[in-house]
Structure 1
Amino acid sequence: MSIRKAVVSGSFYPDKKEEILKYINHFNSVKTNDETFENIKAIIVPHAGYIYSGFTANLAYKLLNKEDIKRVIVIGPSHRAYLKGASVALYDEYETPLGNLKIDKEFSQNLIDKYDFLEFNEECEFEHSTETQAPFIKHYFENIQLVEIVYGEIDYEDLSKVIDEVLEDELNFVVISTDLSHFYTLEEANKKDNICLNAINKKDLEMFNYCEACGKTGVKAIINWAIKNNYETKVLNYCTSADVTKDKNRVVGYTSALIGK
């Protein structure tokens, strides 16, 4: 059996189940405004260390209606491997400290067969943008099947075609992974990130041209899908690394959002 190993456990998030649950229980103990959609088709979530962005990511995961979901498609940018197009994981399982997730290999292979810009690239096995979502997915969904798509140089419209196909099935759900601007002063980060937040809220694809986010292509792809299918967006939270580090000189921004109606 082939297993996609958890390579950033112990750094981006704890490598022990109890420690991850402690984080999630703490996040859920904080009173939040849980205004949501009845039918959520996708979420946008950050992928930094849980100490920085876990609370923001968890806000989106905890609002989902898990009973309606059979398969989660997690889509994130490649940070380590250069690739044209995107890689769809063809392992049997995806390791997490909370227990392994089963990968839907047949579904994944069908996507590769259908789209010439998709392949399976083993170099993506070190990607944290998708892996940081796996413990949340395991915790909140337990027995769903996972499909992992890591993209490199790809047009958002191509990625949007894959999302179109995936979301034709009512039982599928999409997770888009992105952080926002990187390493500006807090003031600059707030300005730049505000453009992204407005672009998401207003479903304005043009505005994304002025937005800095490592997963911008994935975000544009899901917003494009939302526009075409008449779904709404709702930004849940925005925070920065400075909230934790107190360093206002080199800041990374994070947000989470819902796509639904």
Structure 2
Amino acid sequence: MRMHLLKIVAILPVLLLALSNCSALLAQTEPKETWEPQVAGRFYPGNETALKDQINSFFKTIPNLFLNGRPVALISPHAGYQYSGQVAAYGYHALKDTNFTRVIILSPSHFHGGKRFRGASILKVKNFKTPLGVIPVDQDACNQLLNQTHDARASSPQKSAPLFGEYEGAYQGEHSLETQLPFLQMSLNSFKLVPILIGILIEDDFDRMANAIRPLLDEKTLLVVSSDFTHYGDGYNYVPFRKDIEKNITALDNGAFEKIRARDFNGLKQYRKETGINACGLMPILLLLKLLPDNVSCEILNYDTSGHQSSNFSYSVSYASILFTKPADTKSGFMAPKKEPLETHPYFLTDEEKALLLSLARNTLETYTKTGNPPSPGQVNNRLTPNLKEKYGVFVTLKKYGELRGCIGHLLPQSPLFQGVVENTIHSSAHDRRFEPVGPKEVSDITIEISVLSKPKRIAGADNFEVGKEGVIIRKGPFNAVFLPQVAVEQGWDRVETLCRLCQKAGLSRDAWKDDGMEFYVFTADVFHEGVRS
């Protein structure tokens, strides 16, 4: 009898292992139907209409981007949309009109021990749901990863453990993956999802996991990495400096961007060790660097911080939209947008049309400073000419006693000219961060200037623009700035001083215009203004 008991005890672990394997097989063959949204109504609107309106409002402010090739991967932030949504929109706007049919998302796990499990969790469900509808999961791709075989290492059983598992707890309350989904739904026609939450990866985990994912990458598969960057402040236990905080945060993030741009896996790991930079998606980013093709180019489309948005750097989180492209493959049928010059054109606004726009700007300034609302559309609609309904880039400049009091505008055509004048009069008077909002008592002391712009064209270098006749835009990575044509004349600047001041405005060193990689664009403007107000 005792011998029989010993035999049963001996085979019990085997039976338990078999039962465990059966449970795993059942889990693989019977995925849940739909994973409900975890953070809708908190990180982004829970209502379909409100969510679409918010994302479209982000897209509306983005200028046309000149891409270096076909998108293959994107790093995108995942904070609440009110903080990081505009930055994220830059990357997703660049994905419009692409033909991706599958998206692999690599996201960090923040909750439920997410930073304690090793490897990655793939949630076995048929669909992910957002307020915009359901997204089908690519079951075959997920099973392919979950069924990966691994080299057994008798000397180190931990290393032989599968790197892909089904840990549902990692997805409960998690926002890093979910916040990417509505943007994808608004950017791509239809696609299947491969959801991957990353825990801890060590030693050769990156290579093993990359080798497992790489067979899934084809011309119609997009890689998305979800990550914010520097989390600064006592609440994040990260205060490497207490002076020049905004400048130092930007420098810290740029150091990471340079390693990412160079696809320097070891360099980024070393940079993390040296600086302690606490980008929450560091593991997924490092995995991405293992997966990117050799001929990839990297472009930082937009960058911002919550500290800059709130003008309070006691706490600050950094957001970046980073796009990876490779040369267009004509066999795939996808051609990258060309960097073709956009022609300038003669203006044909009549004196009467200019007077109407100035009158509209004046009415907007007076109405908005008093009521907080724009003027009624009915006040101008019956006087609009076809020219005023055409789309143009336009700036509105406010001056008080000849000194700048506000200036904001659209570089590229976004809305009908009359509407752009209304919008930018409001923005210049209330949202120019360099000044306090204009008060009702100031209105009579302010003169209004309107600049209607041609479309920018790219030039070869800093020597190819005419000071005082052309406006100039500089752009390098996430940094950019613009001067209207009249600025240099009004300030008495020559070419070098104009470029130095422009670099300072962009947050760069004065001589950064000499750097390799600096892009230059020029445009012309038709400038008209009110007479001097007494």
Common fold by TM > 0.5: yes
Match of 1:10 in 2: 41
- In 1, are the aligned partners of 2:246 and 2:308 still within 8 Å (CA)? no
Question: Do the aligned partners of residues 35 and 14 (structure 1) sit closer, same or farther apart at CA in structure 2, a change above 3 Å counting?
Answer: same
- The 1-side partners of 2:78 and 2:212 are apart by 22
Match of 1:81 in 2: 112
Note the C-alpha offset of 1:250. Answer: 0.9
2:143 pairs with 1:109: yes
Note the C-alpha offset of 1:66. Answer: 4.7
Note the C-alpha offset of 1:249. Answer: 1.4
User: Which shows bigger deviation, 141-150 or 195-204?
Assistant: 195-204
> Letter of the aligned partner of 2:91 in structure 1?
A
The correspondence of residues 188-203 of structure 1 with structure 2, limited to 5 A, is: 188-203=248-263
Note the C-alpha offset of 1:245. Answer: 2.2
Pick the aligned partner of 1:240 from 302, 305, 308: 305
Give ranges in structure 1 of 5+ residues lacking alignment. Answer: none
Match of 2:182 in 1: 135
> Letter of the aligned partner of 1:121 in structure 2?
Y
Pick the aligned partner of 2:285 from 219, 228, 246: 219
> Letter of the aligned partner of 1:90 in structure 2?
K
2:256 pairs with 1:210: no
Secondary structure of the structure 2 residue equivalent to 1:95: strand
Note the C-alpha offset of 1:113. Answer: 0.4
> Letter of the aligned partner of 1:154 in structure 2?
L
2:171 pairs with 1:125: yes
Note the C-alpha offset of 1:159. Answer: 3.6
Give the percent of matched residue pairs that are identical in Structure 1 and Structure 2: 30
- The 1-side partners of 2:135 and 2:220 are apart by 17
Match of 2:446 in 1: none
- The 2-side partners of 1:12 and 1:88 are apart by 22
- The 1-side partners of 2:98 and 2:224 are apart by 16
Give ranges in structure 2 of 5+ residues lacking alignment. Answer: 1-31, 150-161, 234-244, 327-534
User: Which shows bigger deviation, 171-180 or 184-193?
Assistant: 184-193
Pick the aligned partner of 1:37 from 68, 72, 80: 68
Secondary structure of the structure 2 residue equivalent to 1:26: helix
- In 1, are the aligned partners of 2:95 and 2:188 still within 8 Å (CA)? no
Question: Do the aligned partners of residues 84 and 31 (structure 1) sit closer, same or farther apart at CA in structure 2, a change above 3 Å counting?
Answer: closer
- In 1, are the aligned partners of 2:121 and 2:167 still within 8 Å (CA)? yes
Note the C-alpha offset of 1:41. Answer: 1.0
C-alpha deviations, 1:20-46, integer Å up to 9, x for none?
Answer: 112212112214351213311111101
- The 1-side partners of 2:212 and 2:182 are apart by 24
> Letter of the aligned partner of 2:129 in structure 1?
E
Query: TM-score under structure 1 normalisation?
Result: 0.92
- The 1-side partners of 2:186 and 2:96 are apart by 13
Match of 1:157 in 2: 207
Secondary structure of the structure 1 residue equivalent to 2:320: strand
Question: Do the aligned partners of residues 30 and 200 (structure 1) sit closer, same or farther apart at CA in structure 2, a change above 3 Å counting?
Answer: same
User: Which shows bigger deviation, 119-128 or 201-210?
Assistant: 201-210
Match of 1:250 in 2: 315
Higher relative contact order (CA 8 A, sep 6+): 1
Note the C-alpha offset of 1:162. Answer: 3.6
Note the C-alpha offset of 1:65. Answer: 5.1
Note the C-alpha offset of 1:67. Answer: 4.5
Question: Do the aligned partners of residues 51 and 162 (structure 1) sit closer, same or farther apart at CA in structure 2, a change above 3 Å counting?
Answer: farther
Secondary structure of the structure 2 residue equivalent to 1:129: coil
Match of 2:91 in 1: 60
Match of 2:158 in 1: none
> Letter of the aligned partner of 2:131 in structure 1?
P
- The 1-side partners of 2:98 and 2:301 are apart by 22
C-alpha deviations, 1:36-91, integer Å up to 9, x for none?
Answer: 13311111101111111111111111112555211111110110033210001211
Secondary structure of the structure 2 residue equivalent to 1:143: coil
Match of 2:219 in 1: 170
Question: Do the aligned partners of residues 232 and 70 (structure 1) sit closer, same or farther apart at CA in structure 2, a change above 3 Å counting?
Answer: same
Question: Do the aligned partners of residues 59 and 163 (structure 1) sit closer, same or farther apart at CA in structure 2, a change above 3 Å counting?
Answer: farther
Query: TM-score under structure 2 normalisation?
Result: 0.46
Note the C-alpha offset of 1:160. Answer: 2.6
Question: Do the aligned partners of residues 70 and 109 (structure 1) sit closer, same or farther apart at CA in structure 2, a change above 3 Å counting?
Answer: same
- In 2, are the aligned partners of 1:182 and 1:189 still within 8 Å (CA)? no
- In 2, are the aligned partners of 1:56 and 1:239 still within 8 Å (CA)? yes
Larger Rg: 2
- The 1-side partners of 2:97 and 2:105 are apart by 15
Note the C-alpha offset of 1:150. Answer: 0.1
- The 1-side partners of 2:299 and 2:35 are apart by 32
2:246 pairs with 1:186: yes
User: Which shows bigger deviation, 7-16 or 151-160?
Assistant: 151-160
2:112 pairs with 1:93: no
Note the C-alpha offset of 1:192. Answer: 1.8
Secondary structure of the structure 2 residue equivalent to 1:93: strand
Secondary structure of the structure 2 residue equivalent to 1:132: helix
**In the comparison of the two structures, how many residue pairs are matched?**
259
> Letter of the aligned partner of 1:7 in structure 2?
Q
Secondary structure of the structure 1 residue equivalent to 2:46: coil
- The 1-side partners of 2:112 and 2:215 are apart by 26
Note the C-alpha offset of 1:165. Answer: 2.3
